[in-house]
Amino acid sequence: MRLKKLAATLKKKGPLPYLITDLVNIRYLTGFTGTYAYLVVDRDRSYFISDTRYEEYARSILPKSVEFVLQKNEFLESLKTILKKAGIRELFLEEHATPLSVYRSMKKGLRGVKLSPGGDVVNEIRMIKHPDEIEILRQAAAKTDACVRHLKGIIRPGVSEWDIAVEIEHFYRKNGCRKSSFDSIIASGPGSSMPHYATSLTKKIMKGEVILIDMGCEYSGYNSDLTRTMFVHSIDPALERIYRVVRAAQEAAVRAVRPGITTGELDAVARDSITGAGYGDRFGHGLGHGIGMEVHEMPAVKKGDLKLMKNMVITIEPGVYLPGIGGVRIEDMVAVTAAGCEVLTKSSKDITVIG
């Protein structure tokens, strides 16, 4: 059980008692999928605070070592009761997930309790996936590959970007996913030069345009993320050139993934390849990111010293963007293995002309 493992890990070195405020981390530790909860993790006993909306459900899933504390009024009152009962004089806080408002009210209301920064320990633990988690991510990636195949039969001149976004949402939900991981990016023509383009409700796809699709699903609590760039009817030579550049850089980075390489070294593999082709200033964003219970989680795959480890799952997504003309990005999800990586997304990266 993850909560026990966390407490055991923290017992040796780390912030205990630890107030977990990040709902994703609470889900990771307890399985709770509701929208309101706090968790105080302590050495031998933990405390789970929520309100009547989730009482029956939470009680049904929490292990014996976790006490359910019903919040009747203010969160602070429930927290006070716990701290008093457990004799807690110092409480560690999750640094990325403690709102200033919560911190201030604790500071004011919890006299005699020291509030200390507790880092982001659970997020760090979450970087290394259990084989069961990798299996779910593999399935989430497969759902997205199936969606890409489905879309190839739908994309044609005259179809709007929005039609495609709706089709993706429909496909995912029909195929056992709770929803899309994020608003799908469907960028056709010049819009594709903006890495985080907002899909248009009205823009229709036209002959000769490039179409960049960035999408993912939430399946069984885990996310997929994939980008493919395709061509409609015919190919602009400038875009065909950058497609080859991006593909070569993306594949070189995928080949370089292995335990021990730093995120900065991996980022440089793709960046140097793109720079060598003359487009270095047109690749502005980082190479990728960790993915799991959140679409974007640790580690950030960009300039930095963090070493990749076996069972991390990351995206590799270089892009080249030419303002006014269009852009190309290719993104896969990969799981770091003992010797290299397993590419979880399997959609073809060959130049694809449709419609």
- Which of residues 282 and 329 has its CB atom nearest to Mn ion in the complex? 329
- Which of residues 236 and 294 has its CB atom nearest to Mn ion in the complex? 294
Q: Return the half-sphere exposure (C-beta side, CA atoms, 13 A cut-off) of residue 272.
A: 10
SS3 content of the chain, % helix, strand, coil (to 5): 40, 25, 40
Binding mask 212-241 for Mn ion (x = CB under 5 A): -------------x----------------
Stretch that binds Mn ion, among 82-90, 124-132, 199-207, 309-317 (CB under 5 A): 309-317
Least distance in angstroms from the C-beta of 201 to Mn ion = 23
- Which of residues 229 and 315 has its CB atom nearest to Mn ion in the complex? 315
List residues bridging with 353 in a β-sheet.
231
Least distance in angstroms from the C-beta of 94 to Mn ion = 24
d(CA 10, CA 4): 10
Least distance in angstroms from the C-beta of 351 to Mn ion = 21
Least distance in angstroms from the C-beta of 289 to Mn ion = 6
Judged by CB under 5 A, the chain residues 68 through 127 that form the site for Mn ion are: none
315 binds Mn ion (CB under 5 A): yes
- Which of residues 25 and 181 has its CB atom nearest to Mn ion in the complex? 181
**Interacting residues of 83 by C-beta distance below 8 A, sequence separation 6+:** 40, 91, 110, 113
- Spell out the SS3 assignment of 81-134: HHHHHHCCCEEEECCCCCCHHHHHHHHHHCCCCEEEECCCHHHHHHCECCHHHH
β-pairing, 288-290 with 226-232?
Answer: unpaired
Least distance in angstroms from the C-beta of 39 to Mn ion = 29
Least distance in angstroms from the C-beta of 199 to Mn ion = 16
Going by C-alpha positions, the residue among 203, 206, 162 that lies closest to residue 184 is 162
By beta carbon distance, the residue nearest Mn ion is 225
Least distance in angstroms from the C-beta of 317 to Mn ion = 5
Least distance in angstroms from the C-beta of 338 to Mn ion = 25
- Which of residues 42 and 225 has its CB atom nearest to Mn ion in the complex? 225
Stretch that binds Mn ion, among 230-238, 259-267, 300-308, 310-318 (CB under 5 A): 310-318
- Which of residues 49 and 228 has its CB atom nearest to Mn ion in the complex? 228
Query: Is the four-CA dihedral 140, 142, 148, 154 of positive or negative sign?
Result: negative
Size of the site for Mn ion (CB under 5 A): 2
- Which of residues 209 and 225 has its CB atom nearest to Mn ion in the complex? 225
β-pairing, 353-354 with 226-232?
Answer: parallel
- Which of residues 159 and 291 has its CB atom nearest to Mn ion in the complex? 291
3-state secondary structure of 138: helix
Query: Is the four-CA dihedral 313, 98, 75, 112 of positive or negative sign?
Result: positive
Q: Report residue 55 as tokens.
A: 């009482």
Binding site for Mn ion (CB under 5 A): 225, 315
